[in-house]
Structure 1
Amino acid sequence: MAVLIVTENYLEFGLETGFTNFSDSAMQFLEKQGLESQGPVSKLTFKFFLAIFCSFIGAFLTFPGLRLAQMHLDALNLATEKITQTLLHINFLAPLFMVLLWVKPITKDYIMNPPLGKESVPLMSEATFDTLRLWLIILLCALRLAMMRSHLQAYLNLAQKCVDQMKKEAGRISTVELQKMVARVFYYLCVIALQYVAPLVMLLHTTLLLKTLGNHSWGIYPEAVSPSPVDSFPSNSIYSELPSADGKMKVTVTQITVALSSLKTIFTPLLFRGLLSFLTWWIAACLFSTSLFGLFYHQYLTVA
């Protein structure tokens, strides 16, 4: 809820613009239906339910973030090449880079209008910046997917650590207990893989939805948007040429067409841009914050 209070001058999601457009379109639709209303929902209620939904996402991503921090430390201890260590650090900081993409004073203002001397020369348009932001998120997700093997191998090496710890303990250790301990680590690997992949799938899902529903483009230089054939609904003259026996079907198809066009005017790309941008940012912020806390926990709060 504290994040939703931040103005658009610092965190530019487009939620205010999207909600205003949604509320105005809904009010116009209700007025056409002969209903008087101040809007479908107030801004405070909208942000309250959005905060509750984001709290569930944060709770879902807490344990995967803590687990990722432990695997990151183990993978760094196993890595011997500098390139692998650098990729591991970039992979760990990838959610932070995603979070900074929506911080307007840090990224957008300096990338779009960098101060060059006394004048600021615009390097790209706002649509190009949105496209580059989508591509950067996908590339960082691809890097995390490529580093999955190193993290899973680091988890499997916990069995060797447990064996070394058991050798230091006093008393005899049976072979059955040793096998159970190693098998327990191996069988839990599927859960670890799910904890590693699930946040990645959520992030990619919201990013692709942002591109599609937000009416963005994959091209660096977006082309002029031409009206799609889906937007042009068939007119009533086409239905008038049908036989009179299909009168009920004509009425039904006309009602469905009007309903679809009405929904399209209410749920506009401006609304989806603001909502999905915020959800993408929130998932990345939860991943980084929980991983950072897990890094602090495993390094300073646990006893080796």
Structure 2
Amino acid sequence: MAILIVTENYLEFGLETGFTNFSESAMQFLEKQGLESQGPVSKLTFKFFLAILCSLIGAFLTFPGLRLAQMHLDALNLATEKITQTLLHINFLAPLFMVLLWVKPITKDYIMNPTLGKESVPLMTEATFDTVRLWLILLLCVLRLALMRNHLQAYLNLAQKCVDQMKKEAGRISTVDLQKMVARVFYYLCVIALQYVAPLVMLLHTTLLLKTLGNHSWGIYSESNSDSLVEDHPFSGSIHSELPSTDEKMKVTVTQITMALGSLKTIFTPLLFRVFLSESVAAS
């Protein structure tokens, strides 16, 4: 909630623009339905629901993050090459890098309008920056997936650490208890793999949703707008006239569904999806 209070001059989530667009579209929709309204929700309520969404994502990722931190330390102790250690550090700091991509004074202002001498030369457009940001997130996801073997091997080495620790302790231990202790580490490996992969899958799917629903592009040049009007829907227009006269009820139902889908499309715009999905990616 404290992050959502920060103005758009510092965080580029598009909260103000998305909320304004959502309120105006919802009010127009209600007016067409013959209802009077000052807006669906207030700005405070809108931010409150966003804070709850991000809090749930953060709570879901708390324990996997702690587990990743422990595996990161163990993997660093096992790594002998400098390149591997550097990749491990980049992988561990990847969430911080992704959050900084939405901080305008740190990334966007310096990349899009760097100050070269007395002049400010723009290096890329805003659409290109959004595309580069999506590609960076995907590359960080690929890096984390590539280093999965190192982290899982670091966890499996806990069995050897437990055995070495028991050798230093006084007293005796049966072979059966020793086997159970080692097997417990291997049996828990599937849970560790799930804790490692689940946040990665959630982040990857959220990024793909941000690209699709947020109307972004994978290339440098912006794609043409593929949004179609309600009149261009495949179930409307001339197709209705080709239906048999005995299917009047079906025609009315299809028309109502088409109009409802078109109205919802005007409310849930790409600007609104960019707000929710950008917050979700940053929280992940």
Same fold (TM over 0.5): yes
- Following superposition, the deviation at residue 221 of structure 1 comes to 2.2
Is 1:273 paired with 2:274?
Answer: yes
Question: Which residue does the alignment assign to 1:90?
Answer: 90
Question: Which residue does the alignment assign to 1:126?
Answer: 126
- CA change 1:17–1:231 in 2 (3 A) is farther
1:56-113 deviation digits (Å, cap 9, x = unpaired)? 2111111111111110010010011111111111111111111110000000000001
Question: Greater CA deviation, 224-233 or 91-100?
Answer: 224-233
Question: Greater CA deviation, 237-246 or 255-264?
Answer: 237-246
Question: Which residue does the alignment assign to 2:32?
Answer: 32
Whether the 8 Å contact between 1:236 and 1:254 is mirrored in structure 2 is no
Partner Cα distance (1:61, 1:236) in 2: 48
Whether the 8 Å contact between 1:74 and 1:154 is mirrored in structure 2 is yes
- Following superposition, the deviation at residue 39 of structure 1 comes to 1.0
Question: Which residue does the alignment assign to 1:259?
Answer: 260
> What is the correspondence of 1:100-139 to structure 2 with a 5 Å cutoff?
100-139=100-139
Question: Which residue does the alignment assign to 1:71?
Answer: 71
Question: Which residue does the alignment assign to 2:246?
Answer: 245
In structure 2, stretches of 5+ residues that fail to align are none
- Following superposition, the deviation at residue 216 of structure 1 comes to 0.5
Identity among equivalent pairs (%):
88
Partner Cα distance (1:226, 1:168) in 2: 68
Question: Greater CA deviation, 150-159 or 244-253?
Answer: 244-253
TM-score, reference length from structure 1:
0.90
1:29-59 deviation digits (Å, cap 9, x = unpaired)? 1011110011111111111122122222111
- CA change 1:26–1:227 in 2 (3 A) is closer
**Relative contact order, CA 8 A, sep 6+: which one is greater?**
1
RMSD: 1.5
Question: Which residue does the alignment assign to 2:163?
Answer: 163
TM-score, reference length from structure 2:
0.96
| Secondary structure class of the residue paired with 1:206 | helix
Partner Cα distance (2:162, 2:101) in 1: 41
Partner Cα distance (1:113, 1:138) in 2: 24
AA aligned to 1:261 is G
